[in-house]
Amino acid sequence: MTEATHKDTPLVEVIDLSKYFSIGRKSELHAVDKVSFAIDKGKTLGIVGESGCGKSTLGRTILRLLEPTSGQILFEGEDITKYSKTRMRQLRRTMQIIFQDPYASLNPRKTVADIISQPLIVNNIFDSKDKLAERVAELMEIVGLATRLSDAYPHELDGGRRQRIGVARALALRPKFIVCDEPVSALDVSIQAQILNLLMDLQDDMGLTYMFITHDLSVVKHISDEICVMYLGQIVEKSSSRDLFKNPLHPYTQMLLSAILAPNLSRRKTKKGIVHGEVTSPIDPTPGCRFAPRCDYRMEICTKADPEFREVEPNHYVACYKVEQDLGLDSYISGNQNETGI
Amino acid sequence: MSEYNFNNSDKDGYVLEIKDLEVIYETDLETVHAVNNVSFSVRAGETFGLVGETGAGKTTTALSILRLLPDRTGKVTKGEIFFNGENLLELSDEVMRKEINGERVSMIFQDPMTSLNPIMNVGEQIYEALKYHNPEKKTKEELEKRVEETLELVGIPKKRKNEYPHQFSGGMKQRVIIAIALACKPELLIADEPTTALDVTIQAQVLAMMSELNEKLGTATILITHDLGVVANMCDDAAVMYAGELVELGTVEDIFESEDHHPYTVGLFGSIPNLDEERERLQPIEGLMPDPTALPFGCHFQDRCPYCFDRCINEHPQLLKLSDTHSIRCHLFSDKALEVNHD
Ligand SMILES: Nc1ncnc2c1ncn2[C@@H]1O[C@H](COP(=O)(O)OP(=O)(O)OP(=O)(O)O)[C@@H](O)[C@H]1O
Ligand SMILES: Nc1ncnc2c1ncn2[C@@H]1O[C@H](COP(=O)(O)OP(=O)(O)O)[C@@H](O)[C@H]1O
Ligand code: SF4
Ligand code: SF4
Ligand SMILES: [Mg+2]
Ligand SMILES: [Mg+2]
């Protein structure tokens, strides 16, 4: 294919992607349930949602570090869902992940240089030791690690430097796409800012495409072009970053935004954003909106069938019956009604 | 404040008073000066926030209170820690283990992944904690019901109680640990970055549970966090820690509404992404904290401080008292100071 045909193809696209885990003998936990979206080249898609909603599972499934239960993953327009292990290993050079926990994801017995060179060695990128060392030094410089640290061990470094190692390792094979799974959540604000700036600079310099997972709304707003809001395995709202914060439509998104604690004393100790209602279990969920037990606008229809994830305003997608009603759209009921045999 | 169930706090109502605490980590090769001359106190029913970047010494301060510093390397070299008037540093290990830790003082550790038992399901782990702290002599059935309620309080469906830690996401494990710590109804709760891995709605829930302990039982809380939003909304008093020292100490009004701040505090506020602004570069404090094995002679913040002048390099700044409640460790305020808290 030529560049021209690629022009409008998103770099990454997922269609109805699901990942279920078996729990006990008969049950299935729907960690990711029929998720669809696309990410254009050079852009950042933010994924937000509460802990346990399936963000990490989604990121790992897209890279096929976990095998999808159903659905498709397209990379540069090609379906990679059925790629063999060997082909996947080839492809994974261009798709990398930076992990949630900079402490747990680095081998404590390896030095900084060892960790960064590992993907280069595994993939036989260089034939000489000198060239390898040169590239490692270059990577360390790119992420702002002093070369004198190349013989240090991860435990000797602070969290920010450890996360820089994670970033350098992810960049080693010159990837096009990086899943950033909460790369700054374990760091404190001053260091968070340094890493976020680094990631944004790298994107500009290298044309990287990011899927940026976080539960921190101010971080996601800062870094993303578009944002998906996830709730219990499903995407409930997607729009441009600016639109989402200006005009949140889904009741869950509205609840999330109202629970943000501002760093000032204006709304002190008002009990806001407190969860009420039972949290739906992702194990063998019944049809209907997963947010219904916690939703102030719940209607009868909400627990009958899954609301459709649809474009309700230009480039603003929502799955909610109330939003459909408010905007005068007809609800389309079908789909998941008989999913679990009810 | 309301009526307390714990009536043994000292005459000023302090549950915890730390005085001139100094802690080092000593190995054959080097000595890390992790905590230097730290003093603060927490009243019953109140929450004290401790803020600062990685390596500032927050966790070390917390571990010293529980006497959980690593055996061979960690040492308290100076200071006193009074818990309801009793110096914890003078108690025997046995008394600490049996009567204080997990009994009257609970700690939520920073690293949740290591504090759950991987081979016991989460329901059983909460059950064990409840059984151990069961003054009302609840029956097995009542306790099991309580396990389910506790899980739901932290937003985890009760039907997941038979799952094991590896089947939970990072944030869910953290919620189980919080549930266990709160089940013990402690007099002093030390929470080390308890909500960092949690999203805002669950965070709100957990913070509400902690406030309830403050109000109903008079639990005193030390909340270690780097989230200034959490400090603003939860704490009564707060301190900013840098390179082992408190550089600013005050009520939350002092920290959030006063004109006067330590330059490091100003930097901390500048590095938070602002929800009201469009995508732009953040203004992090450039540079890194000084090496704790070789702290500079003058101000510990001198290398990163935009206002650094001669005196900062030649003289270590004292904690200057600007009002009854507000203190700042910086030479810029020497004209404004009421008195000096000599270290
Ligand atoms: N190996 C596994 N076996 C069974 N269930 C799992 C497994 N891994 C994850 N899950 C479940 O899948 C769901 C999604 O987990 P995931 O780790 O993707 O959440 P997350 O959104 O990344 O949360 P956090 O913000 O806390 O990291 C959770 O209910 C979790 O318990
Ligand atoms: N077990 C240890 N051995 C040696 N040094 C340590 C140990 N734990 C912490 N330190 C050092 O003590 C200082 C304070 O660390 P810590 O209390 O963990 O800070 P914080 O909790 O504020 O991030 C840091 O310089 C850190 O590297
Ligand atoms: S579909 Fe119904 S229950 Fe779900 S969010 Fe919308 S109004 Fe609430
Ligand atoms: S004492 Fe000097 S170097 Fe230290 S914070 Fe104040 S002005 Fe900056
Ligand atoms: Mg995760
Ligand atoms: Mg710590």
In chain A, what residues touch B272 (CB-CB under 8 Å)? Answer: 189, 193, 218, 263
What is the distance in angstroms between the Cα of B299 and the nearest Cα belonging to chain A?
19
Q: Which residues does a 6 A CB cutoff place in the pocket of ligand 4? A: B 263, 299, 301-302, 305, 307-308, 312, 317, 330-332
Q: Report d(CA A224, CA A204) in Å as an integer.
A: 13
Instruction: Please name every residue paired with A180 in a beta bridge, in sequence order, or none if there are none.
Output: A98, A212
The ligand minimizing its distance to the Cα of B318 is 4
The answer to whether residue B206 is domain-embedded is: yes
Q: Which residues of chain A have pLDDT under 70?
A: 1-7, 101-103, 186, 188-190, 267, 269-278, 332-342
Chain A / chain B CB contacts < 8 angstroms: 173
Pocket probe mutation, ligand 4, options B247, B328, B330, B334, max atoms within 8 Å of Cβ: B330
Residue of B271, B277, B281, B289 best to disrupt the A interface, most CBs of A under 10 A: B271
Domain count, chain B: 1
Radius of gyration of chain B (CA): 21
Give the residue range(s) of CATH 3.40.50.300 domains in chain A.
Answer: 3-94+175-340
**A51 vs B285: CB contact, 8 Å cut-off?**
no
Per-residue pLDDT of B50-84, as tens digits, reads 998 878 899 999 999 999 998 889 999 999 999 99
Confidence (pLDDT) at B5: 47
A3-94+175-340 maps to CATH 3.40.50.300: yes
Structural contact between residues B50 and B115, judged by C-beta atoms closer than 8 angstroms: no
Distance of CA B243 from the midpoint of ligand 2 (Å): 10
When CB atoms are compared, the residue of A23, A160, A259 closest to B200 is: A259
Nearest CA among A96, A85, A132 for reference residue A113 = A132
Mean pLDDT (chain A) is 87
Across chain B, the runs of DSSP E, i.e. the strands, are: 14-26, 31-43, 47-51, 74-83, 86-87, 105-108, 188-192, 220-224, 237-242, 245-251, 319-321, 327-328, 339-341
Q: Is B35 in the pocket of ligand 2 (CB under 6 A)?
A: no
CATH code for the domain of B321: 3.40.50.300
Residue (of A207, A241, A209, A236) closest to A224 by Cα position: A241
Contact A261 B203 (CB under 8 A): yes
Q: What spatial distance separates the first Cα and last Cα of chain B, rounded to whole Å?
A: 32
List, for residues B229-276, the tens digit of each pLDDT value.
899 999 999 999 999 999 999 999 999 999 999 999 998 887 776 666
Ligand 4 centre distance from Cα of residue B303 (Å): 9
Query: A258 CA to chain B: closest CA distance, Å?
Result: 9
Q: Is B168 on the interface with A (CB under 8 A)?
A: yes
> What is the distance in A from the centroid of ligand 3 to the CA of B112?
33
Q: What is the ipTM for the molecules in this complex?
A: 0.72
Q: Is residue B124 part of a domain?
A: no
Whether B83 and B15 have beta carbons less than 8 Å apart is answered as yes
Q: Which domain holds residue B331?
A: 7-104+184-341
Q: Is 0.90 surpassed by the pTM of this model? A: no
Decide if A256 contacts A229 (C-beta within 8 A): yes
pLDDT of residue A336: 46
Does any ligand 2 atom lie closer than 6 A to the CB of residue B290?
Answer: no
Reported as a pLDDT band with limits 50, 70 and 90, residue B222 is very high
Partner A contacted by B179 (CB < 8 A): no
pLDDT(B226) > 60:
yes
